Amino acid sequence: MNISIILAAGEGTRMKSNIPKVMHKICGKYLIDYVLDACKGAKIEKNVIIVGHGKDKLIDNLKDESIIFREQPIYEGAPYGTGFAVMQAIDVIPDDSIVTILCGDTPLINDDTITRLIEFHRNGNYAGTVLTAILEDATGYGRIVRKESGEIDRIVEQKDANNDELKIKEVNSGMYCFNGKALKEALNKIENNNSQNEYYLTDVVSILNNEGYKVGAYTIDNHIEIYGVNTRVQLAMGEQEMRKRINQKLMLSGVTIIDPNCTYIDEDVIVGRDTIIYPGVVLEGNTIIGENCIIRGNTRIINSKIGNSVEIESSLIEESIVDDKCHLGPYAHLRPKSKLGKNIKIGNFVEIKNATLGDNTKASHLSYVGDADVGCNVNIGCGVVFVNYNGREKFRTTIEDNAFIGSNSNLVAPVHVEEWGYIAAGSTITEDVGKGDLSIARARQVNKAGWVEKKGLNKRK
Ligand code: UD1
Ligand code: CA
């Protein structure tokens, strides 16, 4: 059985945050989510997360059947260190398992790297294998000390290293594979007599060597994968790398992204072939965009589904569904639960909320359509307001197919306009409108002949 242990109990002091470090987000997902995804991709069946600082937030937010939480006691003067963290999982490590240890703050690790690490570990019959990388600047990392034979001897932490050891460029990624039984034996022998008085997981390497076990080191070239997030500056760099990966994957799948450095797409977003995305676009959450769409600058789409051949310009779309061939914007706002049929036009400064609009309907300028069921081929004139709120309750409006709602009308809900109903501009509609009826609800115009001259208002001062 393959299991992982993901370390996430640390305080993350350098983030200067009230949120646990591994719950900071890049490209819309928690740092630790990427580590969990990589484990899933590497076919690891069970994930043990070691929690401590901010544990409640983590446990509440990470719900998955594959996850087991183990708590590291956190109190003034409590034992500390990566070794102590892993000890908390001893009871869930089967003797015959392969245990992959990862950190919750290294989101850039790829699943195929984990797969290859496990393979290397298994094929080499090692009891433990360390994932290493060669870095020009190894500052901060534990250094890999090798024997004359070339095999790994031990890991020395920066703070405990002598001058010769500090010159070593091969570093410990903080990721490992162990055989369950050997790991448990070694954990019981770790001590904290080092410069930080911590229980170092890294000591497991020398312990296994001393016990006569075979220990391996698997070196990767792509060292960005071991990149850890400790500060907000590193968080932004992690985001940049992840954004690059997401955008590259989309471009290689047939999406045009005009400027990938200025296009912000979350991990789980799906975009269809031949869609063109302009700079400044933000696509969030579980958004799905169809094929042949054009999404222009400063559009933000959150958890929404957009059909094929849709054009959107400078608009905000939240939790809504838009069918094929619609035109939105500039400056349209679809609030949650808006559902647009095909070939709909939502123009400048139009707001839609919790409303369904049928095919070919248009609201081209300056309208509010809230809590409504609107049919097909309806024309909603400029400045129409669906008056859905009386200060206490909300009501729905129903407009049937082919109705015409003249400009600057108010539809005071609940109200029902039947098929081909026709509302004159400037009407305030409080009663239902029958099929094919014209409804005018405004004062009749009065023209007073010669009034201006009579009042002497035609002479300017
Ligand atoms: C560790 C390694 C170092 C390696 C580096 C790679 C040790 C002793 N050192 O150092 O060789 O080069 O990672 O990034 O392991 N954590 C807990 N409980 C604890 C302490 C830490 O859960 O008591 C978690 C942290 O939340 C973090 C991870 O373990 O996710 C690593 O801890 P950190 O203190 O950052 O280790 P480094 O000093 O970076
Ligand atoms: Ca540390």
Q: Tens digits of per-residue pLDDT, 322-363? A: 999 999 999 999 999 999 999 999 999 999 999 999 999 999
Measured from the CB, is residue 105 less than 6 Å from ligand 1? yes
Rg of the chain over Cα atoms, rounded to whole angstroms, equals 32
CATH of 232-439, one of 2.160.10.10, 3.60.21.10, 1.10.645.10, 3.40.50.620: 2.160.10.10
Residue pair 20/57 in contact (Cβ under 8 Å)? The answer is yes
Integer Cα distance of 184 and 188 in angstroms: 7
Domains 2-226 and 232-439 belong to one CATH topology:
no
Q: For ligand 1, atom 36, which residue shows the shortest CA distance?
A: 82
Provide the pLDDT for residue 194. Answer: 93
**pLDDT at position 460 over 90:** no
Cα(397)–Cα(432) distance, integer angstroms: 10
- Pairing verdict, β 170-179 and 264-265: unpaired
Whether the CB of 20 sits within 6 Å of ligand 1: no
pTM for the model stands at 0.91
> From ligand 1's centre to the CA of 82, what distance in Å?
5
Q: Is the CB–ligand 1 distance for residue 15 below 6 Å?
A: no
What's the pLDDT at 182? Answer: 98
Q: If pLDDT is split at 50, 70 and 90, which confidence band does 63 have?
A: confident
Considering only CA atoms, which residue is closest to atom 8 of ligand 1?
Answer: 200
Q: How far is the CA of 214 from the centre of ligand 2 (A)?
A: 27
pLDDT attached to residue 428: 98
133 confidence band (pLDDT: 50, 70, 90): very high
50 Cβ inside 6 Å of ligand 1 = yes
Is 461's pLDDT higher than 80?
Answer: no
In this structure, how many other beta carbons lie within 10 angstroms of the beta carbon of residue 132? 26
Structure confidence at residue 372 as a pLDDT band (50, 70, 90): very high
Q: Homologous superfamily of 2-226 in CATH?
A: Spore Coat Polysaccharide Biosynthesis Protein SpsA; Chain A (3.90.550.10)
Does ligand 1 have an atom closer than 6 angstroms to the CB of 138?
Answer: no
Cα distance between residue 114 and residue 176, in whole Å: 9
pLDDT tens across 229-249, in order?
999 999 999 999 999 999 999
- pLDDT over threshold 80, residue 163: yes
Percent of the chain with pLDDT over 90: 97
State whether residue 163 is helix, strand or coil. Answer: helix
**Per-residue pLDDT, 455:** 93
| Domain locations in the chain as residue ranges | 2-226, 232-439
pLDDT tens sequence across 76-124: 999 999 999 999 999 999 999 999 999 999 999 999 999 999 999 999 9
Active site residue 327: no
pLDDT at 83: 97
The number of the ligand 1 atom at minimal distance from the alpha carbon of 199 is 8
Mean pLDDT of the chain: 96
pLDDT for the residue numbered 12: 87
pLDDT of residue 110: 97
Predicted pLDDT of residue 11 = 82
State mean pLDDT over 374-386: 98
* pLDDT score, position 4: 98
The 3-class SS string of 181-242 reads HHHHHHHCCCCCCCCCCCCCCCHHHHHHHHCCCCEEEEEECCHHHHCCCCCHHHHHHHHHHH
pLDDT at 10: 87
pLDDT, tens digit (0-9, with 9 covering 90-100), for 170-201: 999 999 999 999 999 999 999 999 999 999 99
| From 223, 327, 365, 416, the catalytic residue | 365
Name the residue with the closest Cα to ligand 1, atom 25: 10
Residue 438 pLDDT exceeds 80: yes
Atom of ligand 1 nearest to the CA of 81: 23
